[in-house]
Amino acid sequence: MSIPSQDSPTAILRVSCPDQAGIVAAVSSFLYENQGNIVDIDQHVDQDEGGFFMRVEWELASFAVARDSLAVALAPIAARFGMEWELHFSDVVPRTALFVTKENHCLYDLLSRHESGELRMEIPLMVSNREDLRGVADRFGIPFRHFPITRETKAAQERNEIELLRAEGIDLVVLARYMQILSPLMTEAFPNRIINIHHSFLPAFPGARPYHSAHRRGVKLVGATSHYVTEELDEGPIIAQGVTPVSHSDSVQDFIRKGRALEQTVLSRAVWLHINRRTLVHANRTIVFG
């Protein structure tokens, strides 16, 4: 292992396969033999399902294998262990679309962290079912596309959105308090590439108005959950969660106010983990290589 030079790009390999002996040895030997200085390596064995999962990150500067030969070079190891794998390069940043409705706090938090360089991605597009936040998009010079949605137009509009996302080469969709339920059309088009923030500690209070439900139940903590969106509403793999204390003296409005800081923090953390290729989905759960 080795410390990455500040600006040296890295390669990131994520692997899933049946658990078996020799995987770490094979991969680390391959990298060693090709002068690949490992920057970070982490593994996980799923004890219930028997799966093996690994994330390895190494420096490209000294690495003996060219980027476009890497897939071929890895193929024998992948075949030997029956690996599913994905390869990323740290200097290729994801193109991200932000979906919003009315609430601005998650949006500003993402834009602020993008501006400061914390979130290394491109944001070529904002999408909304309303006009409310167009002004924010304008301020940041981000193209804003309005897709008003009614029950009748929903399917057609989602198709339009998907077309636009594909035309723009979007890798990641972030629902920054986007208040529309996505149909399977959309979720199947971007599997494990749509991140939502739900304003409760899932699986408590799924669906609409979770702060109202939490208030009625008299909980002493409110939560927020960021997850990949799947066909089942609020049932997708959880990436990050957080809670903050509340009391009987807090009104629903206070729950909403206290929840905001939580929502933006949890969503931005989930996005950071995703774009740094630190998440891996298996059996509707995430492995988060922290």
Q: Which is nearer to a second copy, 45 or 66 (CB)?
A: 45
Does 57 bind a second copy (CB under 8 A)? Our answer is no
Active-site annotation holds for 171: no
Instruction: Find the binder of a second copy among 175, 182, 195, 219 (CB under 8 A).
Output: 219
- 33 closest CA partner among 64, 4, 11, 1: 64
Work out how close the CB of 15 gets to a second copy at its nearest, in angstroms, rounded to a whole number.
12
Q: Which stretch binds a second copy (CB under 8 A): 8-16, 154-162, 186-194, 195-203?
A: 195-203
Number of residues that bind a second copy (CB under 8 A): 75
Over the window 157 to 176, marking each residue x when it contacts a second copy by CB under 8 A and - when it does not, the resulting string is --------------------
Q: Which stretch binds a second copy (CB under 8 A): 21-29, 76-84, 159-167, 174-182?
A: 21-29
Q: Which is nearer to a second copy, 44 or 95 (CB)?
A: 44
Q: Which is nearer to a second copy, 81 or 190 (CB)?
A: 81
SS3 per-residue string spanning the chain: CCCCCCCCCEEEEEEEEECCCCHHHHHHHHHHHCCCCEEEEEEEECCCCCEEEEEEEEECCCCCCCHHHHHHHHHHHHHHHCCEEEEEECCCCCEEEEEECCCCHHHHHHHHHHHCCCCCCEEEEEEECCCCCHHHHHHCCCCEEECCCCCCCHHHHHHHHHHHHHHCCCCEEEECCCCCCCCHHHHHHCCCCEEEEECCCCCCCCCCCHHHHHHHHCCCEEEEEEEECCCCCCCCCEEEEEEEECCCCCCHHHHHHHHHHHHHHHHHHHHHHHHCCCEEEECCEEEECC
Query: Which of the residues 85 through 144 are near a second copy (CB under 8 A)?
Result: 103-105, 108-109, 111-113, 115-116, 118, 139-140
Q: Which is nearer to a second copy, 58 or 165 (CB)?
A: 58
Work out how close the CB of 53 gets to a second copy at its nearest, in angstroms, rounded to a whole number.
8
Active-site option among 138, 234, 250, 254:
234
Query: Which of the residues 223 through 282 are near a second copy (CB under 8 A)?
Result: 223, 237-243, 245, 247-249, 251, 257, 260-261, 264-265, 268-269, 272
Q: Which is nearer to a second copy, 62 or 183 (CB)?
A: 62
Q: How far apart are CA 92 and CA 104, in angstroms?
A: 28
Instruction: Find the binder of a second copy among 42, 122, 168, 231 (CB under 8 A).
Output: 42
Q: Which stretch binds a second copy (CB under 8 A): 79-87, 162-170, 186-194, 199-207?
A: 199-207
Where in the sequence numbering do the catalytic residues fall? 234
